[in-house]
């Protein structure tokens, strides 16, 4: 395994772990904690997901640089590109809608649930699969 592929694998599995821990463990559980209101949970979620998405952008950039610097298996490049595109779709298409709704809830307005949440979760699941496939392809070489 080349240094570029090893770096890409390490970054990729950190990225995967963060997404799994935050999106599929922390996010749903925080609303079950005693005393956590929808406003409080959404306020915390906004901060946590902003930090996660910032880290994801850095991870995506590292993967792109690693693919440009050293030999990385073609299948891993394709699967990694899918993960990056899914992240960009989340950030450009879904997060703005979720942020608008969160802003209204934090301002005290009573707004209906958003289907954008389901779109974000679907993209998140697809991204997890793409990250896992990328990691397996990087390690299989």
Question: By CB neighbour count within 10 A (0-12 exposed, 13-18 middle, 19+ buried), where does 92 fall?
Answer: exposed
Predicted pLDDT at 141: 65
Q: Mean pLDDT, consecutive 10-residue segments, the chain of 141 residues?
A: 89 97 94 90 93 97 92 90 97 95 90 90 97 94 65
Predicted pLDDT at 60: 97
With a CB cutoff of 8 Å and minimum separation 6, the contacts of 137 are 73, 75, 76, 79
Domain residue ranges of the chain, discontinuous segments joined by +: 3-19+36-140
Predicted pLDDT at 21: 97
Predicted pLDDT at 38: 85
């Amino acid at each position: 395994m080349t240094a570029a592929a090893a770096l890409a694998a390490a970054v990729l599995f950190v990225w995967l772990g963060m997404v799994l821990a935050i999106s599929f463990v922390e996010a749903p559980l925080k609303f079950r904690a005693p005393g956590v209101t929808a406003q409080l949970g959404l306020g915390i979620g906004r901060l946590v997901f902003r930090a996660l998405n910032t880290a994801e952008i850095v991870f995506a950039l590292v993967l792109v640089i690693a693919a440009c610097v050293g030999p990385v298996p073609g299948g891993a490049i394709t699967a990694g590109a899918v993960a990056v595109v899914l992240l960009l779709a989340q950030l450009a298409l879904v997060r703005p809608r979720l942020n608008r709704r969160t802003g209204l809830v934090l301002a005290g307005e009573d707004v209906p649930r958003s289907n954008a949440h389901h779109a974000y979760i679907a993209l998140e699941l697809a991204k997890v699969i793409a990250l896992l496939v990328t990691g397996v392809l990087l390690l299989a070489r």
